[in-house]
Structure 1
Amino acid sequence: MGPKHILTATLLVLAGCAGLPPEQPRPRVALDTTAGRIVLALDAEAAPISSCNFISYVVFGDYDNGSFFRTVVRDTNTANPNPIDVIQAATPRGSDDDARPPIPLERTRDTGLRHRAGTVSMARDGPDSATSSFFIVTQDTPSLDFGGARNPDGQGFAAFGRVVEGLDVARRIQKMPANAQEQLTPPVVIRSARLLDAAPSVCTR
């Protein structure tokens, strides 16, 4: 049985055992952190690759005991000509977690999504290199969109959902103490990440 079939079977079993409600247009994921609860609604219709990839890490428990480990604040990010406001999270294995293959970049040019306050997006280095690390945008940051200059390649980042509960928690995390390398000291632990709704059918095909 290949990885996709294992994921499909796992999602179907979880949906049945947990008594999840019928598929929602934007399935939600709840992050229980040491700073408070954050709920994300994923746009699997506009960004199916990123959404389903994120859901796979969630259902396998990969984010449990991970952390929000990085904060970038526009007012202090003056070394970059395109400052941003984000907090970044990773699994316990770190931001370069390669437990699964990287996914193709879903450009905002194609999805129609934008990096506005509350957007959740995939962290990456080069195009098509994102795995598990994601970030939450705390203020409108168009330089993260396709054609924006935050990343020198101009391809932007893959937005795939938004915060529907706990944006105040994300903003509080952003203001927590950090060192000169933008690392939160200490990191904010993600106690658990749980899928609240049935996985969208696009993720089980």
Structure 2
Amino acid sequence: MIKRILCFAIIVVTAFGCFACGSTTVPDSDYVKIEMESGGVFYVELYPAQAPETVANFKKLVSEGFYNGLTFHRVETGVLIQGGDPMGNGYGGSDKKLKGEFPSNGFTQNTLKHTEGIISMARTNDPNSATSQFFICATSIPSLDGDYAAFGKVVKGMDAVHAIANCPVYGNKPVEKQVIKTAVIVDEIPAD
């Protein structure tokens, strides 16, 4: 009888341990603070009503620390900055591919426009190929409206985004690496 109880206890502890190791608790807040190694800081408000799966994936990656230490590897001067690639060259991403939550892909509830500060998922020509790479508009880019999964907006710290968007580049690659020190979910945006 003692052997059965001991065996049962070992199974329960092992099963619980495996379950706990495979899960990531994602905070409820829809605010993300991104701090650059250069000292710049900006805050993003996420819009789950517009792109629920995209927001959930982004929050999961942030909660796991995925973006910490990655770079904004692509800069279209004064127009946009792109990051979230673990390879740092535009060809990498996380494992999970997302269904593109934007109107031209049949997802009509996303009505966000690519105005200054909007954060949106980068992808290939395949509308369902976004993983972890994202871009932030440094100005309005109406040609992207309806064709990319916009999912939030920089609501504080656009000066930090503009600093990256106007850094010296070679082609569209920053001359000096633009490194994300940390990306974390926060409860609120601090007052000025």
TM-score (norm 2): 0.77
User: Using the alignment, how far apart are the partners of 1:44 and 1:179 within structure 2?
Assistant: 36
Q: Which residue of 2 aligns with 1:102?
A: 97
User: Using the alignment, how far apart are the partners of 2:168 and 2:20 within structure 1?
Assistant: 40
User: Using the alignment, how far apart are the partners of 1:102 and 1:91 within structure 2?
Assistant: 14
Deviation per residue, 1:148-205 (Å, 9 max, x gap): xxxxxxxx1110000011111111111101012x01111211011101139xxxxxxx
Deviation per residue, 1:128-152 (Å, 9 max, x gap): 0000011100111110112xxxxxx
Q: After the TM superposition, which of the residue ranges 61-70 and 85-94 deviates more from structure 2?
A: 85-94
Q: Which residue of 2 aligns with 1:123?
A: 122
Cα distance change, pair 99–73 in 1 and its aligned pair in 2 (3 A): closer
Cα distance change, pair 7–37 in 1 and its aligned pair in 2 (3 A): farther
Count matched residues.
164
Deviation per residue, 1:72-100 (Å, 9 max, x gap): 136xxxxxxxxxx1001124333433432
User: Using the alignment, how far apart are the partners of 1:51 and 1:99 within structure 2?
Assistant: 15
Q: Which residue of 1 aligns with 2:25?
A: 11
Q: Which residue of 2 aligns with 1:189?
A: 179
Q: 1:163 aligns with which of 129, 154, 157?
A: 154
CA RMSD in angstroms, aligned pairs only: 2.3
Matched, 1:136 2:136: yes
Q: 2:166 aligns with which of 175, 179, 186?
A: 175
Cα distance change, pair 142–11 in 1 and its aligned pair in 2 (3 A): same
SS of residue matched to 1:11: coil
Within 5 Å, which residues of 2 pair with 1:143-158? 143-146=143-146, 156-158=147-149
1:46 CA displacement: 1.4
Q: After the TM superposition, which of the residue ranges 119-128 and 65-74 deviates more from structure 2?
A: 65-74
> What is the percentage of aligned positions where both structures have the same residue?
31
TM-score (norm 1): 0.73
Q: 1:92 aligns with which of 83, 86, 91?
A: 86
Unaligned runs of 5+ in 2: 1-14
